[in-house]
Structure formats: structure tokens, C-alpha cells
Amino acid sequence: MKTVENIKAIGIYELVLRDRFGRIKKRLKLKNMIVNAGLALLSGLTLSDVGGTGCDYLALGTDNTAAAADQTALLAEISTNGGERTAGTGTQVTTTTTNDTSQLVVTWNFTGSLSLREIGMFNDPSAGTMLSRQVFSMDVVNGDSLQATYKIIFARA
């Protein structure tokens, strides 16, 4: 008898927007799309002969076009007012099985108004491979901060 195991990867963004006094203005929890290039990146990272670079950066953008598997970049990445692509702190955490979840936490401190409409995870500070993308709607002003926690949960299907 053969044993078959199905594994799935579930990506989730958790966003917490705070005003300049630290009060929570908005919370969002978003399942996302791990894009085709992201699936290939995850596959390559499991093999020392292939390898790759882990994803330690989150980026924000202003385009609300729906996420699609063939996208390779944000459609309108932000590069001003404190909304630039930012490196985060990565850890492994436990969701169901010990260390089954990759987690990256990034905080932005905004210096101007922005209409945030998309978020993505990348393996490079300025270009690189996009692992995931999701659209949402959140407007920020000078003095606001946004903490994004991105988790990829690896689980048995």
C-alpha cells in the first residue's frame, strides 16, 4: 500500500494600521495568492543544487487589479512617503506542527499620505522574485504606521 501525502502552502497577510498615537485605526487579515514564480522559488529553496534567495522584503503599491498567478511584480510599487520596499524580521513559528510556518514582520512609518492597494513579498530589496501578492484598501497619512505580518503555513492537505 502506497502512502500519499498532499502538502499545501497557505499565505496570509495580517495588517495593523496605527495612528501617530499608536491607536489602532484598521486591522485586516488577508489570504493571498502565491504566484507561479513564488511556487518555483519555494521549490528551488528545498534543493541545495538549485537553491535561491529567501524572501525577506515586503512592498506596498497603489494598484487594485486582482492578484493573478502569472504576475511577477506589484503593478504600482510605492517608492515615497515611507512606503518603500522594506526588509523584515523572519522567524519560524508553530501553527499546527512545530515550525511549520514561515513568518516575516515589517513595519512602515509613513511621512505622507498614500492609498495602499496592494502588497507583495520579494527576495530582493529592489527587484527579485515576487513570492506573493494581494490587494486590499487602506489609506494612510503622515504619522501613521503599518505593521504587516506575512505567514506561509505549510500543512497537510
Which pLDDT belongs to residue 1? 65
Q: Which domain covers residue 145, as residue numbers? A: 7-156
Q: Look at residue 28 and tell me if it is in a domain.
A: yes
Q: Look at residue 62 and tell me if it is in a domain.
A: yes
Q: Is 68 helix (H, G, I), strand (E, B) or coil?
A: coil
Residue 5: CB partners within 8 Å, gap ≥ 6? 156
Between residues 9 and 85, the one the model is more confident about = 85
Scanning the structure block, which residue is given the C-alpha cell 511577477? 72
Q: Look at residue 2 and tell me if it is in a domain.
A: no
Q: What is the mean pLDDT of the chain?
A: 94
**pLDDT over 90, % of the chain:** 79
Q: Look at residue 32 and tell me if it is in a domain.
A: yes
Give per-residue pLDDT as tens, 31-71.
988 999 999 998 888 888 787 788 999 999 999 999 999 99
> How many whole angstroms separate alpha carbon 137 and alpha carbon 99?
31
Q: Look at residue 77 and tell me if it is in a domain.
A: yes
Q: Is 36 helix (H, G, I), strand (E, B) or coil?
A: helix
DSSP one-letter string for 85-123: -EE-EEEEE-SSSTT-EEEEEEEEE-SS-EEEEEEEEES
> How many whole angstroms separate alpha carbon 86 and alpha carbon 88?
6
Q: Look at residue 107 and tell me if it is in a domain.
A: yes
Number of domain units in the chain: 1
Q: Look at residue 139 and tell me if it is in a domain.
A: yes
Q: Look at residue 1 and tell me if it is in a domain.
A: no
